[in-house]
Amino acid sequence: MHEEKIFQDKLDREIKIEPQDWMPDAYRKTLIRQISQHAHSEIVGMLPEGNWITRAPSLKRKAALLAKVQDEAGHGLYLYAATETLGVTRESTIEDLNSGKAKYSSIFNYPTLTWADIGAIGWLVDGAAIMNQVMLCRTSYGPYARAMVRICKEESFHQRQGFEILLTLSRGTVAQKEMCQDAINRWWWPSLMMFGPKDDDSPHSKQSMDWKIKRKSNDELRQQFVDICAEQVKVLGMKIPDAELKWNEKKQHYDFGQIDWEEFWNVVKGNGPCNRDRLEARKKAHEDGDWVRKAAMAHAKKSKHKKQQTKVG
C-alpha cells in the first residue's frame, strides 16, 4: 500500500518511474507489451524500405536511404534495451516476434511497389510515427521517454527526406506525378490505421492514460495527423484519397471518411499482404546471425579469461 502511494505520487508530480522503482505488475506488463511491440515495428520496418536500397535512383538517394534504414535498427536497439530494464531478456522478446506471438505495427505488412513508396513512407509513415512518439517523450517510464527524445529527432529528419522525394516526383514528368499520387493513394489509409483502433474500441487506452504511459488518445493523434497532412498535400499538388476530407470550421479540424477497420484487424491478425514474408525474413536474419552471436560470446569469454589470468599472474 505504501509503495502504491509512492508510485501514484510520482505520477501525480510528473516524476519519472525508473527501473529500480516499485511499480504495479500490470504497469510493468503494459510497458513490456508496448515497448517491445514498438521495437519490433522498428526492426520489421526496415524490410519494406530495405527492398529499395539497391534500386534507389541515385547515389545520393541510396546513401540517405541506407542511413535511414540504419537509424531504424538503432531505434529497435534502444527500445529492446528499454524493454530489458523491465526484467525480460532480449532473447525472449525476439523469440516472441519470430514465433508470431508478438505484434508489430500493421503498416509494415504492405508492399513497396515503386520508388515513390519510399517517399510516401517517409512523409506519411514517419509522419504518423512522430505524431505518436512526440507525446511518448513525456511518457511516465524514464527509459522509454529518454529513448523517444532521440528517436523523434531522427524520425523528423526521415519525414522531411520522404516529403522531399515526393516533392521532386510531384514536379517531374507525367509518369512521375502519377507514381507519386499512386503511392499516396496506397499508403494513406494504412497510415491512419497506425494510430490504433478508435478510442471506443481501444481496450488499453484508459488505463494507459491514467498511468500517463499515453498522453493523447488514438483518435486525438489521428485527427492531428489528418489536419497536418491535409495542408501539406497542397504543397505537393497531390490529393488525399478521401472524398469526405473537408475542413470543418466549427470543429477547427478536418472531417474525414471511414477507416476500413475490417482491413486493419485482418492485417493485425496476420493476414495482410506481406505478413508471412516479413516474419520469414526476420526468422532468416536471426538464423543467419547465429554464428555472429556465438562468435561474440566466445570472444567475450576468452577476453574475460585472459584478464583473469593476467590478474592472477
Q: Nearest residue by C-beta to ligand FAQ?
A: 45
How far is residue 12's CA from residue 210's CA, in Å, rounded to a whole number? 10
Q: How far is the CB of 272 from ligand FAQ (least distance, A)?
A: 10
Q: Kindly tell me which of 177 and 198 has the beta carbon lying closer to ligand FAQ.
A: 198
Q: How far is the CB of 70 from ligand FAQ (least distance, A)?
A: 11
Q: How far is the CB of 10 from ligand FAQ (least distance, A)?
A: 21
Q: Kindly tell me which of 271 and 308 has the beta carbon lying closer to ligand FAQ.
A: 271
Enumerate binding residues for ligand FAQ (CB under 6 A): 33-34, 37-38, 41-42, 45, 72, 103, 105-106, 121, 125-126, 129, 132, 193-197, 202-205, 208, 218, 268
Q: Kindly tell me which of 42 and 242 has the beta carbon lying closer to ligand FAQ.
A: 42
Q: How far is the CB of 112 from ligand FAQ (least distance, A)?
A: 11
Q: How far is the CB of 309 from ligand FAQ (least distance, A)?
A: 45
Q: Kindly tell me which of 273 and 309 has the beta carbon lying closer to ligand FAQ.
A: 273
Residue 155 Cα to chain centre, angstroms: 10
Q: Kindly tell me which of 137 and 177 has the beta carbon lying closer to ligand FAQ.
A: 137
